Amino acid sequence: MPNVREAQERRLRATLRDDFVEVMDAELRRRKPIYVRIHDSGDFYSPRYFRNWIAIARHNPDVRFFAYTKALPIVQNNPGIPKNLFLVMSEGSKCDARIKAEDTVARVFETEETLTGSGWGNGMKDDVKLITEGCKKIGLVYHGSPRRAFKTSR
């Protein structure tokens, strides 16, 4: 899809600009959101990019930022992550062994039924509420193309 690709490339280029933090701060002041999901697809692709989001969260303490991430080597061991920046470590990467017991974690389940019986919070209904209220286990249901082999137990 050329339109989607161009939009994604335009967003990536914006994050690479030296004034990214200032542009985002101005946009947040203009819109005044309560919550910001940092990515709807994608992840923290570099330490600099993650540090920029830390700065944006610090500059906007009344906004609650959240992000799902598999970029554990980038986001872990960063002192000074502000309290209004909520990170959810997503299972399913080569870095799963780095997920700590105290981390907020997301797991993808094959069906709503397997999620319901799992003891995990149902993130399909309101993940923002679960994340910002301290739920440590966020369950989501897979909604992509059919998969040949899907593991729901880890």
pLDDT tens for 109-138 read: 999 999 998 999 999 988 999 999 999 999
Residue 125 lies in a domain: no
Which is nearest to 154 in space by CA: 102, 97, 73, 87?
97
Contact 108, 140 (CB under 8 A): yes
Which is nearest to 141 in space by CA: 131, 129, 117?
117
Give me the number of domains the chain comprises. 1
Residue 87 lies in a domain: yes
Residue 118 lies in a domain: no
Residue 48 lies in a domain: yes
Residue 75 lies in a domain: yes
Residue 11 lies in a domain: yes
Kindly report each contact of residues 27-33 with a partner whose C-beta sits within 8 Å and lies 24 or more positions away, as own/partner: 28/56, 28/60, 28/63, 29/60, 33/63
> Which domain does 48 fall in, by range?
2-100
Tell me, yes or no, if the pTM score tops 0.75.
yes
How far is 42 from 69, CA to CA, in rounded Å? 8
pLDDT tens for 21-43 read: 999 999 999 999 999 999 988 89
pLDDT score of 144 more than 90: no
